[in-house]
Amino acid sequence: MLFMLAAVVVAQGPAVTADQPPAVEITGPWSIRVSPGVVRVGDRDVRIEDPVDLPVMPSARVKSRAEKYENLPLYDPAAAPWTRGARLLGVITSETTAPDILEPDSVVVRSEPDGAPLARGKDYDMELQWGTFGRLAGGLPDNATVYVDYEIGLHRLDSIVVDGDGTVRILPGQPHNATPLPPPAPRGAVAICNLWIPARLKALDADSLFPITEPVYVPPRRTEPQAKSLLPKTWRKLIGGAPLHVLAWGDSVTAGGEASSVDKRWQNRFVALLRERFPDARIRLTTAGWGGRNSDSFLNEPPDAEFNFDRAVIQPKPDLVVMEFVNDAGLTPEMVEEKYSYLLKRFQDAGAEWAILTPHMVWPPWMGKTTSKIEDDPRPYVAGLRAFAAKHHVALADASKRYGHLVKEGIPYITLMVNSLNHPDDRGHEIFARALMELFE
């Protein structure tokens, strides 16, 4: 349900003295203030004359009662936390579970809907951050059926909008356990700031405010496309209409990684955009994507294996290899230089050109962060890619830079991750495709 919160105008506020945009500040655990300022709405400037105080709704909570789980598996503490046993239905994402949305103290497990609570650590165990659980040896029997009460919070992305008459209001977004979308601005209104309300947030903080300062990413202007010098064979074939074989090489994201359809995968979108840019192009696309692996995994496979590097990447004789490996993100710049220099020689010897995608941003703890409000990618791997590409004149499509720009668009990047961790939705795949197209524009 969409709730529109009416503005409360603060009497005798300071007058607008300059054509400056309004600022948003937190005034209480669940309240904000929008300062006077000027906002461009459509084709005219709209002036907010006085400060406006607005209440913000806390994150949504959902309670589940006596949720039934049959044949409860053994709890496996050695497995990934989202695979340690059964998954509470409310925390399931596309393939994992959403971390930190379960209210730990809310969980009650019973053998009957109204039975006595079972004992955690004796009858069963649970990964409370990820919402997975299972029986313990010597506790519940093999074929145990249990009933679980629990409560979760849901993420939400609200928008502060200004109408054509200067009215300021908050439009709450739809709650979701992984990918909440901001509400669309009504006709004749413009969003000036988004409010990030993650699940179980106790009070607004600095990471809640996402002012919309640049709603659209604008690529830097260049005197000529980088591909002309960095990918000359590819460029000539695109211009001349000669057959061009593009091979997408990567991990689970390249293999499909939560894109809603094959046409929405980054490599398919890239080729579609190339065809728009070069109407005479004759492009063939193949994909070598292996989920849960990195570039070394291909190199370490035996010769007859499906994902052996030579068999999957070199032998198909691509003209252009486009590489995406978020699973290489643990590499240091020194390791990038060593490992990717070998790959560069292999591609040169095979007559293939190479374009590297910098990776998308992933779950903040995996990036050494506690926030998804990140403009500059902190990972050494990304710095290493940029240095390697500059040193060796390799084409680099800087998707990470575009992910950083999402902050200015009012979007927490983590809301693009369909599995809450590292698999982007269609918007994330489009970022890859657009980053690649920068090389050709």
Coil, helix or strand for 52?
Answer: strand
Crossing angle of helices 426-437 and 266-277, in 10° steps, is 40
- Do the beta carbons of residue 149 and residue 113 sit within 8 Å? no
Q: In sequence order, which residues have a C-beta less than 8 Å from that of residue 380 and are 6 or more positions away?
A: 331, 332, 333
Task: Tell me the pTM.
Answer: 0.93
pLDDT band at 399 (very low <50, low <70, confident <90, very high): very high
For 213, the enclosing helix (H) or strand (E) is none
Burial of 276 (0-12, 13-18, 19+ CB in 10 A): exposed
Q: Tell whether the model's pLDDT for residue 138 goes beyond 90.
A: yes
pLDDT confidence of residue 257: 84
The identity of residue 261, as a single letter, is S
pLDDT band at 18 (very low <50, low <70, confident <90, very high): low
Q: Tell whether the model's pLDDT for residue 219 goes beyond 80.
A: yes
The distance of Cα 354 from the centroid of its chain, to the nearest Å, equals 25
- For 78-127, what is each residue's pLDDT tens digit? 999 999 999 999 999 998 999 999 999 999 999 999 999 999 999 999 99
Q: Tell whether the model's pLDDT for residue 142 goes beyond 50.
A: yes
pLDDT above 70 coverage of the chain, percent: 96
- The mean pLDDT of 431-439, rounded to a whole number, is 99
CATH fold group of domain 227-440 = Rossmann fold (3.40.50)
Give the separation between CA 236 and CA 75, rounded to whole angstroms. 57
pLDDT confidence of residue 99: 98
- For 230-282, what is each residue's pLDDT tens digit? 999 999 999 999 999 999 999 999 999 889 999 999 999 999 999 999 999 99
Give the separation between CA 259 and CA 268, rounded to whole angstroms. 11
The distance of Cα 172 from the centroid of its chain, to the nearest Å, equals 21
- The mean pLDDT of 334-356, rounded to a whole number, is 99
Segments making up each domain of the chain, as ranges: 8-58+155-211, 61-152, 227-440
Coil, helix or strand for 97?
Answer: strand
- Do the beta carbons of residue 124 and residue 134 sit within 8 Å? yes
pLDDT band at 14 (very low <50, low <70, confident <90, very high): very low
Q: Are strands 353-357 and 395-397 parallel, antiparallel or unpaired?
A: parallel
70-94-129 Cα angle (round to 5): 70
DSSP string, 323-387: EE-GGGTT--HHHHHHHHHHHHHHHHHHT-EEEEEPPPP--GGGGT-S-S--SS---HHHHHHHH
pLDDT confidence of residue 12: 37
Q: Tell whether the model's pLDDT for residue 71 goes beyond 60.
A: yes
Q: Tell whether the model's pLDDT for residue 412 goes beyond 70.
A: yes
